[in-house]
Structures are given as C-alpha cells and as structure tokens.
Amino acid sequence: MQMTSAPHLLAEDGPEYERILGDALRHAHERPDLEGVGDRLNTEQLRTMALSATALITAAAATEYEHYVEARDELRRASTAAEAADGLPAVDGPQSTAAGAGAGIGAVVTVLTPLLAGTAAVIFLLVGYLLKAVSPSVAFGDSMVAAGWFFAAVAAAAILVAAVGLLVTALRNGTTSLAAEDEEQELPEEVARAREAWRHALLERGILPFLRDALADPTAGPAARTPHRSPHRIPKVGYSRPDFSGPDGPAAGPRPTFTSPDFTSPDFGGPEHRPD
C-alpha cells in the first residue's frame, strides 16, 4: 500500500517515514507497551493504518520537520551558489537538454529495432519457405529466406545491445545511489542534528503513540488517535458562541406604563341658557 500524501511532508521524505515506521514495527516485540502486536492487530494491519494516517502522525513532529527542511534547503542553496561560482554548467542547461534529446532518440531506436527487424524476419522467412515449398525451382524463394535470416540476425543483435544498455544503466543508477547515500552520510552537523531530531520526534511522539492507541482500541478511527503535538506550537484560537437566553430566560424588566389623557366634556347649562 502506498503512503497517502501529507501536506507537511515532502515526497522525498516519504520513504524515510516508511522506513522509521517499518523499524518500529520490526522491533515492536522489544517494547512492553506494544506487546499486543500479533494478538489484536498484526504488523501489516498496523502498517496500513499508520500509512493511512500519515498526516496525523507526522503533524506530531511538524516543528522539528520544518527546522530540518529549512536547514536542508539552506545547504542546497549554498551548494548551488558554490557550483555557480566555480563556473560549473547548470543541470538544466543546453548541454543537458541536448543530452536528454539524444538519450530519448537512442531509447526509441533501441526499442523499435528488435521489433521491426523481428517482424521483417518472420515475414521474409514465412514467404520464402512457402515459395520454396510451392515452386522449388524459383530462385526468388531463396532470396526471401536469406533476407529473413539477415533480419533475424539484426533483431538478435539489437536485443543484445538493448540488454547491455540496460545493464549499464542499472550499474550507473546503482553508483548514483551509493554516491547519494555517501553524500547523505556526510551532511553538515547542523543538518544532521535537525534530521535526527525530526526522526526521534516522529518516532516517539507520532508513530509509537499511534501504535499504542491502535492496539488499545482497534475499532477506533484514525481521528480518535491524536499523537502528542510538538511543543512550542501556536495554540489554536477558539471563539465562544454567544449566549442566548431562551423563552424560559430571566424575566424582562417592568414595562413602562402609559396613562391615557383625561378629556373633559364641555359643560352645558340648564334649560335657562337655551336661546329663545
């Protein structure tokens, strides 16, 4: 199973994460807190679960990883600047482009030559032997057979050249890998310390707590297994929801009362005031 990509883990560091995880699972029997390996969950199940929770596990060592990446990038920038100062050609310069184009044409020729030569050999041999069987006196059949064997020899030679090319490429890649390993072992002290700090934090605060939680409760989902976070991390800012009082909340204050205005009706006198 391939490792799921984590937003804070570069692709070049994915194999290192898988290697640390593999070492932890291989030596799980040496840790008393992982004694349940093989009883509740086997190593392959734990590996699958840990690879699926890569983002969660690697977040526990995010601070150390950021420091390691910064130190490594600084080293690479310094190496690039030194090569540019020495006048070395850039890797992606015109010479590299021309070499890549030549290698691409050579690969196409190496692949197509055995295929085309083998097809021609089969056709010429088949037609030539059929002509010889039908009309033995016709000389054209012998020519076709000779051409067929010629193309068969070309196909065999092309296959041999392709095999030698593959062997040379494999040896060259092996030498490059060994050189890369030697370069990694000769890292400056600051980068080496940062890498070792990230590996230690990833194992102790990420992988091992996840494995312990998985063995304690195999049915829990990955989100329920939260490894210990790195120290000195910025706390997540939270916002509290405002409190709203429901219908049964505190009684409102007394409402203002309004008195209606008093109106007096006009005074009317008795009959003596009536006009005549």
Q: What is the pLDDT of residues 6-61, one digit of tens each?
A: 557 899 999 999 999 999 999 888 888 887 777 778 889 999 999 999 999 999 99
Q: Please compute the mean of the pLDDT values over residues 247-263 and round it to a whole number.
A: 48
Q: Exposed/middle/buried for 190, CB within 10 Å: 0-12, 13-18, 19+?
A: middle
Most confident stretch, 181-185, 210-214, 225-229? 210-214
pLDDT for the residue 135: 80
Percent of the chain with pLDDT over 70: 64
Q: Please compute the mean of the pLDDT values over residues 144-160 and round it to a whole number.
A: 91
Per-residue confidence band for 86, with pLDDT thresholds at 50, 70 and 90: low
The pLDDT tens digits of the residues spanning 264-276 come to: 545 544 455 454 4
Per-residue confidence band for 236, with pLDDT thresholds at 50, 70 and 90: very low
26-40, 68-82, 105-119, 181-195: segment of lowest average pLDDT: 181-195
pLDDT for the residue 265: 47
Planar angle of CA 123, 125, 126, nearest 5 degrees: 65
Query: What are 50-54's contacts with CB under 8 Å, separation 24+?
Result: 50/21, 50/207, 50/210, 50/211, 50/214, 51/1, 51/2, 51/3, 51/4, 51/18, 51/21, 52/4, 52/222, 53/210, 53/222, 53/225, 54/3, 54/4, 54/5, 54/6, 54/9, 54/17
The answer to whether residues 26 and 19 touch, using CB atoms and an 8 Å cutoff, is no
The greatest distance separating any two alpha carbons of the chain, rounded to the nearest whole angstrom, comes to: 166
Q: Please compute the mean of the pLDDT values over residues 157-165 and round it to a whole number.
A: 87
Average pLDDT, rounded, for the chain: 75
Is pLDDT of 173 > 50? yes
pLDDT for the residue 32: 83
Is pLDDT of 137 > 60? yes
